[in-house]
Structure 1
């Protein structure tokens, strides 16, 4: 049996579900553009990845997105007059209102904390997503982790080895004492390459089954 003393949980698809198409729909509505145009500006351009990697702050991200989509927005305003300016927070909320909670995971995380004393969050995410989730009145959004490691804060993203090194340093344990739950196989493989125990699963019953193998 593994001697697990700490569990890291991924955020997306483990603690909360997300739908990128909804983020694109929100942007399309906000800027009066097509969903395809919004998807290209947000994801196809690599802008969202740069934001999650910590290469851009909130203001820089919103400004670049507005700069890309603003010409289309102004053109649409000429035929459909309305608000001519878009607030930064509106942009950040538009890309973030795509999450729904996996409420059962709040109890799962707390159960692991009761057993081990500490739990952590290890996620590829951006400041806007994390802020929006923390503002929701969900049980999972109220969880307090002893260690929270976000890609946007450390300028490294899974499956890069550096983010796992930082996560291991943050919890202060050997790799064989750490269990990591993530929904992507490449992230799980990278964790195992660092000597961690790791399981690929989604939140809910799959996560419970994965934890039952070790705890």
Structure 2
């Protein structure tokens, strides 16, 4: 029995491929140089833990003047890094809620970047509960963030089903007793929701 469905956001509801943006804007060789010289994903982890979005990116840019323009783009062109939406996944979110099934978000996302995302992707306002790492000041796959979800929603772990595109995030949830699905595309997730009896094949777009 499932009492709530939990979606990750990046690469589940919205594509998150920063390297693709940098390849397009600066070329693959320059992107490789920048990403090898500067830990941009580590910088983003700090934002996801609650650090100020703009200040963190701009401080990093100031510390690496050879790559300052490229680094600032992480903030200034952020919506170009986080796009497009994965429309089939958004459909699943809305179909679940239309049937009265609680749907939560559990995502590594900064406070400031989430505000930007909300303005571009209205479905981000449609969850019954949202667990945003920047506000919680802890990120997946650290066990504490899953514990905080359990404490807040009051639902037994085995009555939660969670999808995420990262195996390490899934593994921690599974270790706590959550039901899990490694997201490798919306069709597989849709089929899992059908298998769980939450949606019909027609509702799931299959």
TM-score range, shorter chain: 0.7 to 0.9
Residue 112 of structure 1 is matched in structure 2 by 96
Aligned length: 193
Match of 1:61 among 52, 56, 59: 56
Q: Which 4+ residue blocks in structure 1 deviate beyond 6 angstroms?
A: none
Q: Which sections of structure 2, spanning at least 5 residues, go unmatched? A: 199-206
Q: Is the 8 A contact 1:121 1:148 kept in 2?
A: yes
Structure 1 residue 167 displacement after superposition: 1.3
Matched, 1:201 2:198: no
Q: Is the 8 A contact 1:93 1:132 kept in 2?
A: no
Q: What secondary structure does 1:63 align onto? A: helix
Task: Spell out, residue by residue over 1:174-213, the C-alpha distance to the aligned partner (whole angstroms, 9 max, x if none).
Answer: 1111110111112111111111111112342111012122
Q: Is the 8 A contact 2:167 2:182 kept in 1?
A: yes
Residue 10 of structure 1 is matched in structure 2 by 8
CA–CA distance in structure 1, aligned partners of residues 134 and 8 of structure 2: 14
Q: Is the 8 A contact 2:61 2:67 kept in 1?
A: no
CA–CA distance in structure 2, aligned partners of residues 203 and 21 of structure 1: 19
Q: What secondary structure does 1:157 align onto? A: coil
Q: Is the 8 A contact 1:4 1:178 kept in 2?
A: yes
Tell me which structure has the larger Cα radius of gyration.
1
1:40-189 superposed matches below 5 A: 40-43=37-40, 46-54=42-50, 56-70=51-65, 92-98=75-81, 99-136=83-120, 138=121, 140-141=123-124, 143-189=125-171
Q: Is the 8 A contact 1:14 1:201 kept in 2?
A: yes
- Structure 2 CA distance for partners of 1:53 and 1:73, relative to 1, 3 Å: closer
Q: Which sections of structure 1, spanning at least 5 residues, go unmatched? A: 75-85
CA–CA distance in structure 1, aligned partners of residues 152 and 185 of structure 2: 24
Structure 1 residue 135 displacement after superposition: 2.1
Instruction: Give the aligned CA root-mean-square deviation in angstroms.
Output: 2.8
- TM-score with structure 2 setting the length: 0.79
CA–CA distance in structure 2, aligned partners of residues 100 and 154 of structure 1: 26
Structure 1 residue 149 displacement after superposition: 0.8
1:29-48 superposed matches below 5 A: 34-39=30-35, 40-43=37-40, 46-48=42-44
CA–CA distance in structure 2, aligned partners of residues 205 and 183 of structure 1: 13
- TM-score with structure 1 setting the length: 0.76
